[in-house]
Amino acid sequence: MATPPFETHAAQLGSLKRDSRLRALASRTGKDFASNDYLGLAGSTLLHDALREGMALGLPAGSGGSRLLRGNHAAHEALEADAAAHFGSEAALFFAAGFAANAALFATLPQRGDLVVHDALIHASAHDGMRLGRAETCAAAHNDAQGFDDAIIAWRAQGGTGRAWIAVESLYSMDGDCAPLAELAQVAARHDAVLVIDEAHATGVHGPRGAGLAHNLAGMPNVITLHTCGKALGCEGALICGPRVAIDFLINRARPFVFSTAPSPLIAHMVRRAIALVAGHDDWRDELFARIAEARRALAPRLGVDSGTTQILPVIIGDDARTMRIAASLQRQGFDIRGIRPPTVPQGTARLRISITRNVSMGDIGALTESLDRIMIPA
């Protein structure tokens, strides 16, 4: 008798359910303590206005082809020019999504014979890109600059002769901590390495005019930064920023760029306006950081949240099932907080990921604190 076509898939889903790791789509309800819309732009009338402006200019909704065919539009080029200027790089390249940009970067730029040393907690998209690429790879302990140095030294001692690449995030989305960028830049300089910095969760929030945590490194000839447009910028897509030669190489060799339909020119126009808005509103960042400070003041003594300064506050629970029960209880009380489980985070570190945005008020933060006081009792 023939085996049902998706029997093994069903078995794997059953296993995930038994382990309290089955994912499912959930609608957005309650106060926003889950999104990456840090500055509250995604649903703003300001971006609606930018979209209407683009429509009034006659920008097409669809590009009609890849950038190397007829899909290239002046709106894409204008965005890339503005992005390079804002983020301090020689050139920029727009992708439809951050995952595609990260995967394209690591699949394309490091060459056969090179070594990519990546932070142990780097994003899944970087891992997928490295798997598609030709370079050797190895992990360094999280935020351990000496670990990166040691890995490159060991590789050279074993006969490695290519280029070393150092791959990190400036702000880690599940831990809320920041990479030691100055130390990593020194490691890169010592080894003539390229430093790749994913600024996804720092773009728009950190640095002067929201230019990111790597703003003072971005113009260096051995530095590449990636800025997603779907978080603090409130839109979608991503920008790889770096030396012109690296951008030209991606245009010629990055398969996710060469063989993908170009992003909507309307969206490119909206991202361009979002960058200008974010650059001109330090007051938005001031409001956000006031909320962050209050959340950390209120939650740190209760939940073991550290006294950092970023907008991401992880509350480590440990047990997968308990994490999801607590998240569900908070959701029933009107707080949109999601539980994060392995393999997104390491085994035994299931957590609540509390994200502070301008979409919540000081009063909302106080109400969440009271709810957590009631819920966070010993297992």
Task: Cite the active site residues.
Answer: 36, 123, 169, 173, 198, 201, 231
Report d(CA 2, CA 16) in Å as an integer.
25
Rounded to a whole number of angstroms, the distance between the first and last alpha carbons of the chain is 47
Q: CA-CA distances (angstroms) from residue 73 to 62, 63, 243, 344?
A: 10, 8, 22, 37
Unique residue bearing structure tokens 């393999």:
343
Number of other CB atoms surrounding residue 114 within 10 Å: 21
Contact 337, 34 (CB under 8 A): yes
Phi-psi region of 297 (alpha: psi -120 to 50; beta: other; left: phi over 0): alpha
Instruction: Measure the CA–CA gap between 3 and 5, rounded to whole angstroms.
Output: 6
Give the Cα separation of 368 and 333 in Å (integer): 9
**Structure token pair of residue 199:** 């600024």
Q: Which residue has the tokens 């309290």?
A: 20
Please compute, for residue 175, the number of CA atoms within 13 A of its CA located in the half-sphere on the CB side.
Answer: 16
Amino acid at 327: A
Report the 10 Å Cβ neighbour count for 379. Answer: 10
Helical H runs in 57-97? Answer: 74-87
* Calpha distance 75→310 (Å, rounded): 33
The 3-state DSSP class for residue 227 equals strand
Between CA 33 and CA 163 the distance in angstroms is 41
Length of the chain: 379
